[in-house]
Amino acid sequence: MIMPRSPKTTSGVPPWGVFPAAAPSLLKDLPILIAGLALFYGLLTFAHYGVGPVNTQAEIHLYPGALPKYALFSVVRIAIAYLLSLAFTLVYGYLAAYNPKAERIMVPLLDILQSIPVLSFLPPVMMAMIGLFPHSQLGAELGCILLILTGQVWNMTFSFYSSLKNIPRDLHEAAEIYQLNWWQRLWQMEIPYAAIGLIWNSIMSVAGAWFFLMACEMFVLGNRDMRLPGLGSYLQTAANAGDTRAIAWGVGLMVAIIVLIDQVVWRPVIVWADKFKFEQVEAAVPPRSPILDLLRHSKIIPFAARVSIKPAREALNLYFAKAGTKSKVLPRKSPFTPWAWRALMLAGLVAIAYAVVRMGQMLVALSGPEIRGIIQGAAATFLRVEGTLVLAGLWTIPVGVFVGMRAKLSALVQPLAQIAASVPATALFPIVLLILIRVGGGMGIGSMALLLLGTQWYLLFNVIAGASAIPTDLKEVCGVFRLGNLERWRKLFLPAIFPYLITGFITASGGAWNASIVAEYFHFQGKTLSTVGLGAVISHATDTGNFRVLLAATICMAAMVVTLNRLVWRRLYALASTKFKLET
């Protein structure tokens, strides 16, 4: 009996023999394709809404079916704000770290900017954006995104600046030996060295964006009630209505989104950045990420990088290499400021002088009770902030070191801490207030508890980043010499995390002053709950449209934060960059 021959292709390979080899690769790339399409659809939906007509008083529905759309809009706003924050961080931190003349201006300016509350940025930002786009929703959206940016960019910039100031001397010497230009140094030495601290501060920044989302998406400016559809406005509307079920739905979805972003974005990035740890011995238990493994085995990602990223990177490398060669061959001429540049500087000085005069006129109009209220509020908030920093440091330093030294525990604690840092204080306020009423207490204790909720995470994430960056060989040396726990803390842990700890305290201090606007003044069930404090003064002035009090309170807050930073934290920064720099 003759058996029929199997059909074959022209190459002699059975047609069904092709599918088993291609199917695994296709299945591996299928989640990436779905995620890419979902991302494209989300951006398209948000763009279609953004170019639509003005609707700054959108009706916020509290039924659960409206939550997916609101969550999409909030996530897109936070993502855009983060990308803008990252670009600002790289440019601002680099200039401040390597230009001594600019550093004397840029670092104090950064202190001032991070001390200004989100609500103080609100009137000029929203008016400017709506004025630029009066007939489109884009103006209000850009204003909201910039407000979110002001709540998350400063600690990232401080972290990158601090890392650049603490790069070991031998790395700089190696870069000079290999004659790297500034572009090569940036991507091959400076960003890799700063990656761990920048990533952990990015996590904290996004958590801070969720924290202030309610104030950015729904706010009152004088007699104008402005709101944008989003998860923050949903939670604020639910809190105003006292709808605990809607609050539970909103917080539950927020937690789910935070966990998803942690597993899809932050965990892979943390595992990827572990290779930049400054050490000579590899960790015994390196961190792992299933998502990163999936991306590494993908065939679409390398193809897309080959087509788009690699040519752009090579073109930039070639351009800056040629520019560096020309600058070495051709002597630079003495700089001469053109008249156009001088005219621009003169116009800027005139604008600043005009602004100072206008602010002076507004401040002169302050009444005696308003001045006394600002001074009393400043003293009360100062005591709350400093007490909060002490309480936060007592538990975050030991816990952060313990977690950061253990990769598996860090992978478990990171999303939990991110969730706790991201839940808005105003969403938790009804629960906290009810507990305090039952045990005995009021808005004074409640505001300090909420300050702690919004501040302690800056310290925790920076301490975890510092402990995670401790080289494995130094840990093994402690084991070889059999150092006890006290000696390890004195000779390894505290010196190693000191630069990160100072960055954490600076950003936590600014975050505490900023969080006072939601901790000391709160709308709940048609009532306004407040306590004596500078944050309450700013929030009340924003509600009533009293711009002279808003300006005076903001200047007072900025002056106090800058003074404290210059007298205390800057000196500790200098100590960290000299005595506690990790180098050979």
**pLDDT averaged over every residue in the chain:** 77
**53 or 550: which leads in pLDDT:** 550
Q: How much is the pLDDT for 434? A: 61
- Per-residue pLDDT tens over the stretch 253-307: 888 888 888 888 888 888 888 787 765 555 555 667 777 777 777 777 777 777 7
- Average pLDDT on 344-372 reads 81
List the domain range (segments joined by +) for residue 144: 38-309+362-578
Q: How much is the pLDDT for 313? A: 74
Q: Which amino acid is at 271?
A: V
- C-alpha 521/C-alpha 445 separation (Å) is 13
**pLDDT for 1 beyond 70:** no
Question: Is 522 in a helix, a strand, or coil?
Answer: strand
- C-alpha 259/C-alpha 266 separation (Å) is 10
- C-alpha 400/C-alpha 393 separation (Å) is 10
CA-angle at 217, arms to 212 and 222, nearest 5°: 100
**Under 8 Å between Cβ of 76 and 42:** yes
Distance spanning both ends of the chain, measured CA to CA: 82
Does 141 fall in a domain? yes
- C-alpha 343/C-alpha 341 separation (Å) is 5
Residue with tokens 């009137």: 123
Residue with tokens 């909201």: 144
Does 331 fall in a domain? no
**Under 8 Å between Cβ of 425 and 539:** no
- Residues 6 or more apart from 431 whose CB is under 8 A from it? none
Return the exposure string of 92-119: e unless at least 16 CB atoms fall within 10 Å of the residue's CB, then b. Answer: bbbebbeeeeeeeebbeebbbbbbbbbb
Question: Is 291 in a helix, a strand, or coil?
Answer: helix
- C-alpha 334/C-alpha 18 separation (Å) is 68
The alpha carbon torsion through 326, 330, 332, 338 (nearest 10 deg) reads -80
- C-alpha 331/C-alpha 334 separation (Å) is 9
Q: Please give the share of the chain, as a percent, with pLDDT higher than 70.
A: 79
- C-alpha 203/C-alpha 192 separation (Å) is 17
- C-alpha 152/C-alpha 159 separation (Å) is 12
**Under 8 Å between Cβ of 376 and 558:** no
- C-alpha 451/C-alpha 465 separation (Å) is 22
Half-sphere exposure of 233 (CA within 13 A, CB side): 26
Q: How much is the pLDDT for 6? A: 44
**Longest CA pairwise span in the chain (Å):** 112
CA-angle at 145, arms to 140 and 151, nearest 5°: 130
- Per-residue pLDDT tens over the stretch 376-429: 988 988 998 889 999 999 999 999 899 888 877 877 777 777 677 666 555 566
Does 542 fall in a domain? yes
Does 9 fall in a domain? no
- C-alpha 407/C-alpha 491 separation (Å) is 22
- Average pLDDT on 231-251 reads 82
Domains identified in the chain, total number? 1
Does 297 fall in a domain? yes
Which sign, positive or negative, has the C-alpha torsion 227, 229, 233, 238? positive
- C-alpha 531/C-alpha 509 separation (Å) is 20
Lowest mean pLDDT among 158-167, 213-222, 421-430: 421-430
**281 or 103: which leads in pLDDT:** 103
Helices (H), 151-212: 153-165, 169-177, 182-185, 191-211
**pLDDT for 87 beyond 90:** yes
Structure tokens, 45? 């939906």
Does 293 fall in a domain? yes
**9 or 184: which leads in pLDDT:** 184
C-alpha closest to that of 217 among 150, 144, 165, 310 = 144
C-alpha closest to that of 89 among 156, 29, 183 = 156
Q: How much is the pLDDT for 86? A: 93
Confidence of residue 566 (pLDDT cuts 50, 70, 90): confident
Question: Is 267 in a helix, a strand, or coil?
Answer: helix
Distances (CA, A) of 426 to 299, 342, 530: 45, 48, 13
Q: Which of 47-56, 331-340, 385-394, 427-436 has the highest mean pLDDT?
A: 385-394
C-alpha closest to that of 378 among 551, 563, 535 = 535
Structure tokens, 184? 């090569």
Does 2 fall in a domain? no
User: 276: which DSSP letter?
Assistant: G
- Per-residue pLDDT tens over the stretch 505-558: 887 887 788 778 777 877 666 667 778 888 888 888 877 778 888 888 888 888
**pLDDT for 56 beyond 70:** no
Q: DSSP E strands: which ranges in 454-544?
A: 521-524, 527-530
Burial of 88 (0-12, 13-18, 19+ CB in 10 A): middle
Model confidence, pTM: 0.70
Q: Which of 149-158, 274-283, 301-310, 357-366 has the highest mean pLDDT?
A: 149-158
Q: How much is the pLDDT for 15? A: 45
Confidence of residue 88 (pLDDT cuts 50, 70, 90): very high
Q: Which amino acid is at 392?
A: A
Question: Is 224 in a helix, a strand, or coil?
Answer: strand
Distances (CA, A) of 80 to 75, 142, 529: 9, 10, 33
**pLDDT for 471 beyond 60:** yes
Q: How much is the pLDDT for 52? A: 63
Q: How much is the pLDDT for 505? A: 87
Q: How much is the pLDDT for 136? A: 73
Q: What's CA 476's distance to the chain center, in Å?
A: 33
Does 356 fall in a domain? no
Which sign, positive or negative, has the C-alpha torsion 212, 216, 218, 224? positive
